[in-house]
Structure 1
C-alpha cells in the first residue's frame, strides 16, 4: 500500500516534471497555431453511405479452437458478403494462394482479382507479411495481414464492379494507408482504384467518394490538448481542418506514413481532423480523404456529416461503419454455430475413440467459461 508520505512525494515530483516539460506543450501549440485560420465549416450534403469491414478475429474467439481458425470474412453495411475464406497460422500457403488465383491465372475470389490486376501470382509476392512456403517458423500474425489484404481486395472489387445507383460515399474502416504490400504495389492499387472510380462516373455520371475513417491517430493523441488550448475545432458548428505533412511526420514513428514526401507509396489519403458535433466536447475523428478527390473535400465532409449525425449507439460516428461492424461480428447464436462447425470438423479428422477425447476436452473448455457468464 502506498503511504501518505509516498503520495506527497509523488505529487511533488509530478508537479516539478509538469513545469519542466511545459515547454514541450508550448512547442506543440506553436506548431498547430497556424491551423486555426484553416478550420472550415461542414455543410450537410445527402448521398448514399456504405462501408465494408473485415470480421475481427480478436473479437470472434470461440472457446474450443485447437487449430486457431481465423474466418476471413468481409461484409458491407448492407449485410452483403464480399469475401469469405478460412486460414490458420499453419495453413499451407501455396494452397491458400491457389485458392484465390490458380496457376492458370484465373481469379477465384476478390483477392484473386486484385492479385491478377496487380500482376502478382502468389500471396507472398503480394505482401512480405505472408510467409513463403519454405519459410521456417513464420509469425502467426500473418493471418491478420491476410485479413487486411482481403479487405482491400473487397473494396477494389466493389469499385471495379460498379453498379452504384446514386452518388455514394464509401467509408473504409481505417486510414487510407498501408505497409503490408510489396514494393510499390499499394501505389499501383490506389491508381487502379482511382481509375475504377473515374470509369463509374464516365459510364453513369455517379460520383463515388472514398475516405478512410479511424477511431484514433498518433497525430490526434499528440496534439489533442494543444488543439483545445489554441481553440482549434472548438467552433460551435461541425468543422474540419487539414493536418500538414510536417506535423504528421513529428507524430508518426515511420515518417513515410505521413503525406507529402517521396515515400508516399504507403499513403493514399490526406489527413484531416473532423468534429461532426456542434458542441465543444464532441469527439474529434481522424479522416483520410482519397488524394485524387481532395478538390471535393467539402462535398465529402458534408456527406460524412449526414451519416455521422445518424450515428447510433456511438454518437457522431458514421452510421454505415457501425452497421458494417454489426454485420461482420460473430456473436450469440452465430458464434455457437461457428464453434459447432469447428468441433465437427476437428472430430471428423480423428478415430471414433479419439473423438470421445475431443468431446471431453471441449466440455472442459465450456465449463471453464461458465464463471464469466
Structure 2
C-alpha cells in the first residue's frame, strides 16, 4: 500500500471551495441580527486541529450559533508530518466526520456551516483563512495545539494573540462562555483598548449585561511590597520568610510610606485619565461600573472577574510588529493564556505597517 500526501491540486481545490463563501449573500442574517454586537459573531472561524468531533468547543460554537445564527467555518489543520503519515482514505473519512459535525451545528441553529482541510503551519493558515474569507471572529482553545514550536514561539493560540488583527476569543479548558453575565473590559488608554471597549459596550447593551470598565495601575517598582516581594508577580518559596520581614518591620517604614503616597498619586492620575478617555463615550443605556485599582494587571483582572462572576473578559492586545512580537507578553496575551474566564482579544494594526519605506523616508528618519 502506498501512502501519499494529498496533491497540491486537492489542497488548492479545498481553498477554492472555501473561497465561494464570498459570493453567497446571507439575506436572512440581515433580518435576524438587530444589535451591533451581533456582527462580531456573524462568521466565526473554528480551527479544529486534532480535536475530535465531540470537543467541548463545538458545544460552545453550537450555543453561539443558536443565539446569533452565526455562520461557522470549521477548519481542520494538518502539519506536514501528519499528512506524510496518513492514508488519503483516512482524510476522506475525516471529511465525512466534518460533514456530520456540520449537520449537528446546523440543527443547533447555525445559519451556515462550511468545512475545509488544509495543510501547513497552523498560525499562518488560520490568519490567511480568516482574512480572505471575512471571518468576524476566531474561536480558539489551548487544547490540541502543535507541540514543536511551543518552547520558542508558544502555541498557535499564543502566537495568534500576538499578531492576529481579527478578534480572538480564547476559551481555556473548563471555561464556559455565558452570555448575559457581567463583562469585564480592561482598558489601558490605547487604541486597541478603545476598540475593545466599543465592542464590550455593544455586547453589554444588546445582551442586557453589566459592564465593568477596569483600569489597573502598575505598582511602583522602587520598593518591595508584601504581596509581591522582590517585585515578582508571584512570591517565590525561597522568599516566604522575607515576606514576614516585610510585613513586620517595613509596614510602617519610610519605604512603605513612600509607596503608599506613590500609589495614591498614580490612582488619582489614572482616574483623571480614565475620565478623559470616557469623555465622549455614551454609557447612558448600560448598567456599568468603573474600577481603578493598583497591582499586577493579570492578577487584578482575574480577581475582579471572579468577584463579579463574569462571563467574559474583553481586552485590547496592543499593536506590535517585528521583533516586538517576541518580547514580554502583553496583559491581554497573558490573560488569554491563564484565565478561567473566556477572553476576547482585540488588536490594532501597528503603525509600522502603514508607514512608507521609500529611500527618501528612510534617509529623512536618520538625518
Higher RCO structure (Cα 8 Å, ≥6 apart): 1
TM-score where L is the length of structure 2: 0.23
